[in-house]
Amino acid sequence: MASSLAMRARTLEANGLNGTLVDLETRATKGDHQALRLWLRLLSCTVRIENHVRGGLRQEFETTLPRFDLMAQLERHPDGLRMSDVSKRLMVSGGNVTGITDQLEREGLVIRSLDRRDRRALTVKLTETGLKRFRDMAADMNCGSSNYSAGSARKKSRSCSICSRSLKRT
């Protein structure tokens, strides 16, 4: 891995990009189509933000982004969700949801019960402790995400938001 990073750094230096942040966008060349360059730039921004969020969750709360995501889904549904619905909402396998739910249940943050409408299915919901913990994390994330973009001017942020909304519609 270190040798591939060193090779990449030499390539960047040879192309006059010494000191440039090495990310997905740096894979693009001047000859690449604009749509590819835009895609790589957006993906690079997404990865940077996600890494920042993951680091904050790990450092401040000793938890992971998948655990936070699962709790976020449950917070929106106080009566709980079927495990299969959680899986669909998170776009992960049922096995992933089961593993995360097992961890959260051991910590007393969620409880599982038989679904009232279908006893073959399990429903999972946040406990009071889980709800409090999630809200603490969410409040910190709101502060953290605004701190992450604090260097950006509001006008630029608004413009980026409008542009990304437009891209999402196409």
* Residues 76-111: tens digit of each pLDDT: 999 999 999 999 999 999 899 999 999 999 999 999
Q: What pLDDT, in 10s, does the model give residues 30-72?
A: 777 888 878 888 888 888 888 988 999 999 999 999 999 999 9
Residue 112 in tokens: 């599982």
Q: What is the pLDDT of residue 38?
A: 82
With 50 as the cut, is the pLDDT of residue 1 above it? no
pTM over 0.75: no
For residue 89, with 0-12 CB atoms within 10 Å meaning exposed, 13-18 middle and 19 or more buried, which class applies? Answer: middle
Amino acid code (one letter) for 60:
E
